[in-house]
């Protein structure tokens, strides 16, 4: 059960219905229905330009859908501002971390907390930095961190508000196999008391950690199910996975 969930029977944690997003003449999302259940790690995959990041932008409130409804714990959050959506329990990481470079590592986490619920809590910030193995870096500038540490800082900021739903956008891109393994373990731990929705191009990694996989292609959802099922779906194989699909089944 999520930390502050008030789910009643039949409610999804996140329930997106008929999501459409147009950019001028381009349809980035075309009538997408998807949901996230409580406590679930759900992977979102699809070829470049399929609409994955646009979906995260819509769910987190960074952009508004052209049509469709987003419900979180049963409440319609479609037209809420981003900070209010964050306050309600949805937080995200970015493909490219964007720390406040003039602030220290600790201050970045404290600012993240304020964005989420208006309150800074140093003890809680230290707990997060401890979990992310960044406590020893608390006074450093984000610019002095390694790439892996910057990703950990972005994750620290994202979880600093104790979200019930964490959106992770290609957090493992550019990492070596050992670093990827490390992040997979971290995501597993983060998923112990919250739901995680994760975009990842590393097929083996996402098949390993996800309870369920949603596949987008050209803005449309073409599959939604357990990893082994999705890996064997003809449309998915044709669109995305290619001949290696059986390797992940
Ligand atoms: N702000 C925008 N203005 C115009 N077009 C956009 C905008 N954001 C996204 N798009 C277009 O929408 C489509 C979906 O993009 P999106 O970034 O969501 O795909 P993606 O699946 O995340 O791709 P990738 O795996 O390459 O990150 C693409 O054709 C992209 O060019």
This complex has an ipTM of 0.97
Range scoring the smallest mean pLDDT among 25-29, 111-115, 129-133: 111-115
Range scoring the smallest mean pLDDT among 4-8, 119-123, 148-152, 218-222: 4-8
Where is pLDDT greater, at 30 or 11? 30
Q: Hey, whose CA ends up nearest to atom 4 of ligand 1?
A: 23
Q: Is 23 in the pocket of ligand 1 (CB under 6 A)?
A: yes
Structure-block tokens of residue 94? 């970015």
Q: Which atom belonging to ligand 1 lies closest to the Cα atom of 216?
A: 21
Where is pLDDT greater, at 6 or 150? 150
Q: In this predicted structure, what is the pLDDT of residue 188? A: 81
Cα separation of the two ends of the chain = 29
Sequence-ordered alpha helix ranges (H) in the chain: 52-60, 82-88, 105-117, 122-131, 147-159, 177-190, 203-209, 227-231, 234-236
Per 3-state DSSP, the chain is made up of helix, strand and coil in percentages (nearest 5) of 40, 25, 35
Q: Is 54 in the pocket of ligand 1 (CB under 6 A)?
A: yes
- Three-state secondary-structure class, residue 29: strand
- Average the pLDDT over 135-163 and give the result: 92
Q: What is the number of residues in the chain? A: 249
Give the distance from CA 26 to its chain's centroid.
24
Q: In this predicted structure, what is the pLDDT of residue 146? A: 92
Q: Indicate the helix (H) or strand (E) that contains 27.
A: strand 26-36
Which strands form 41-45's sheet, in the order they lie side by side? 90-92, 165-169, 195-199, 41-45, 212-217, 220-225
Q: In this predicted structure, what is the pLDDT of residue 245? A: 47
Which one of 49, 58, 65 would you pick to mutate in the ligand 1 pocket, going by the greatest count of ligand atoms within 8 A of its CB?
A: 49
User: How many CB atoms within 10 Å of residue 249?
Assistant: 12
Where is pLDDT greater, at 216 or 239? 216
Q: Is 96 in the pocket of ligand 1 (CB under 6 A)?
A: no
- Average the pLDDT over 158-162 and give the result: 87
Q: In this predicted structure, what is the pLDDT of residue 7? A: 56
CA distance 172 to 18: 29
Range scoring the smallest mean pLDDT among 24-28, 133-137, 157-161: 157-161
Q: Is a pLDDT exceeding 90 seen at residue 42?
A: yes
Q: Is a pLDDT exceeding 80 seen at residue 99?
A: yes
Q: Is 49 in the pocket of ligand 1 (CB under 6 A)?
A: yes
Q: What is the 30 CA–ligand 1 centroid distance (Å)?
A: 13
Q: Is a pLDDT exceeding 80 seen at residue 116?
A: no
43: left (phi over 0), alpha (psi -120 to 50) or beta: beta
- Average the pLDDT over 158-169 and give the result: 90
The mean of the pLDDT values for the chain is 88
Range scoring the smallest mean pLDDT among 67-81, 112-126, 135-149: 112-126
Q: Is a pLDDT exceeding 50 seen at residue 246?
A: no
- Average the pLDDT over 105-128 and give the result: 87
């Amino acid at each position: 059960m999520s930390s502050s969930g008030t789910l009643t029977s039949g409610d999804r944690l996140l329930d997106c219905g008929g999501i459409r997003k147009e950019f001028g003449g381009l349809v980035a999302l075309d009538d997408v229905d998807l949901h996230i259940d409580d406590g679930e790690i759900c992977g979102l995959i699809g070829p470049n330009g399929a609409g994955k990041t646009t979906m995260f932008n819509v769910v987190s409130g960074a952009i508004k859908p052209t049509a469709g409804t987003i419900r979180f714990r049963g409440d319609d959050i479609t037209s809420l501002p981003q900070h209010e959506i964050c306050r309600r329990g949805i937080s995200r990481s970015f493909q490219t971390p964007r720390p406040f470079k003039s602030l220290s590592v600790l201050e970045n986490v404290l600012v993240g907390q304020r964005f989420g619920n208006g309150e800074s809590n140093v003890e809680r910030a230290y707990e997060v930095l401890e979990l992310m193995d960044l406590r020893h870096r608390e006074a450093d500038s984000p610019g002095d961190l390694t790439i892996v540490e910057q990703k950990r800082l972005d994750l620290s900021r994202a979880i600093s508000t104790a979200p019930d739903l964490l959106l992770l956008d290609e957090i493992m891109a550019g990492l070596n196999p050992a670093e990827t393994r490390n992040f997979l373990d971290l995501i597993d731990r983060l998923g112990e008391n919250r739901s995680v929705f994760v975009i990842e191009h590393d097929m083996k990694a996402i098949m390993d950690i996800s309870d369920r996989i949603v596949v987008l292609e050209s803005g449309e959802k073409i599959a939604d199910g357990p990893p082994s099922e999705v890996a064997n779906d003809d449309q998915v194989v044709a669109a995305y996975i290619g001949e290696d699909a059986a390797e992940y089944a």
